[in-house]
Amino acid sequence: MYIADKKRYEKMKYSRCGNSGLMLPQVSLGLWHNFGSNGNFDNMTEMCYTAFDNGITHFDLANNYGPVAGAAEENFGRILKRGLDAYRDEIIVSTKAGYGMWQGPYGDGGSKKYLVASLDQSLKRMGLDYVDIFYHHRPDPNTPLEETVRALDGIVKSGKALYIGISNYNREQTMEAVKLFNEYGTPFIINQRRYSIFDRTIENDGLKDYAAYNGIGVITFCPLEQGVLTDRYINGIPEDSRVRTDGRFLKENAITEEKINRVKALRGIAAKRGQTLAQMALSWILRDGDITSVLIGASRPSQILDNIGCINNTEFSKEEREAIDNISLM
What value does the mean pLDDT take over residues 5-25? 98
In this model, does residue 64 exceed pLDDT 80?
A: yes
Helix (H, G, I), strand (E, B) or coil at 217: strand
Distance of CA 123 to the CA centre of its chain: 19
In this model, does residue 311 exceed pLDDT 50?
A: yes
Distance CA 218, CA 209 (A): 10
Distance CA 92, CA 190 (A): 13
Distance CA 194, CA 218 (A): 10
| Residues in Cβ contact with 59 at an 8 Å cutoff, skipping those fewer than 6 apart | 28, 29, 31, 48, 51, 76, 91, 92, 93, 94
Closest by CA to 328, choosing from 267, 238, 241, is: 267
The residue extents of the domains of the chain are 8-255+277-316
pLDDT in tens, 279-292: 999 999 999 999 99
CATH number of 8-255+277-316: 3.20.20.100
Q: Which pairs with CB-CB distance under 8 Å and at least 24 residues apart come from 279-283?
A: 279/306, 279/307, 279/309, 279/310, 279/313, 280/310, 281/196, 281/197, 281/223, 281/224, 281/229, 281/230, 281/310, 282/27, 282/223, 282/224, 282/307, 282/310, 283/310, 283/311, 283/313, 283/314, 283/316
- Predicted TM-score (pTM) of the model is 0.95
In this model, does residue 241 exceed pLDDT 60?
A: no
Q: Where are the alpha helices (DSSP H) in 110-221?
A: 112-126, 145-157, 171-184, 201-204, 207-213
pLDDT in tens, 44-61: 999 999 999 999 999 999
What value does the mean pLDDT take over residues 197-204? 98
pLDDT in tens, 140-151: 999 999 999 999
Note the pLDDT of residue 151: 98
